[in-house]
Amino acid sequence: MDEHTDVQFKSLSRVGIMGGTFDPIHLGHLVTAEAARSEFKLDKVIYVPSGQPPHKKGLHVTDKKRRYLMTFLAVSANPYFEVSRAEIERPGETYTIDTVRYFKKNMALGSELFFITGADAIFEILSWKNVDELFELCTFIAATRPGYNLGGLRKKLSTELKGRQLEKIIPIEVPAMAISSTDIRERVKKGRTIKYLLPEPVENYIHKKNLYK
């Protein structure tokens, strides 16, 4: 990446970043980001489509430029949402720590960074690269579906994380968490409808480019 940032946010004091494969992006991602933006008073939520995610090694993942474009189509109408090319332009495997460092470096001194992810992904957090540094650089917003066992989440994490780290994982309940990219891909493959599961421009793009068949 160049030294300049592809998304301008030097003047922002509270920024959320939402990483993911977005293959494809769907309404669950949008509802989660909006819930986090509202509850945590975020100035902006920046979607970061993954470039070469190490946990997807050996699996088929749609071309990163197409995933970026679908994400752009999904969020362009919302002035509080933006899409970053930080990961898709970075060569080699892309890790969360590199992305968080990139954003933190380009943010104003004293500003806060929030990483938005699903609660299930939080269970894997200890396996993430440079996890101790991640906790120093950002706060994690863990999105859960209604009825999710938060007590179980806390209990499991408390046995593996230090007190200060545990405080930097904040759960948020999101009704649309039941929607999944995996289900959408399967629906397309089987010729089933995906309408109202994702933004209409993304649905049209999937059909136009014959993705997931």
| Tens-digit pLDDT string for the chain (213 aa) | 443 456 767 778 999 999 999 999 999 999 999 999 999 999 999 999 998 877 666 678 999 999 999 999 999 999 999 999 999 999 988 899 999 999 999 998 899 999 999 888 887 777 889 999 999 999 999 998 888 887 887 887 888 787 788 899 999 999 877 899 999 999 999 999 999 999 999 999 999 999 999
Any domain includes 198: no
Domain span at 80? 14-179
Q: What is the pLDDT of residue 1?
A: 43
Task: State the CATH number of the domain containing residue 51.
Answer: 3.40.50.620
pLDDT at 124: 79
Q: Is 17 helix (H, G, I), strand (E, B) or coil?
A: strand
**Do the domain assignments include residue 4?**
no
Residue 39 lies in a domain: yes
Residue 189 lies in a domain: no
Tokens of 25: 């992006």
| Burial of 64 from C-beta contacts in 10 A (0-12 / 13-18 / 19+) | buried
The answer to the question of residue 202 being in a domain is: no
What is the CB neighbour count within 10 angstroms for residue 137?
A: 16
Q: How many CB atoms lie within 10 A of CB 10?
A: 9
CA distances from 28 to 32, 80, 198 (A): 6, 17, 8
For residue 52, being part of any structural domain is answered with: yes
> Which pLDDT score is estimated for 58?
67
Assess if residue 6 is contained within a domain: no
Count up the domains in the chain and report the number: 1
Q: Is residue 193 part of a domain?
A: no
pLDDT at 3: 39
Outline where 86-174 has alpha helix (H).
96-105, 119-122, 131-137, 150-158, 163-167
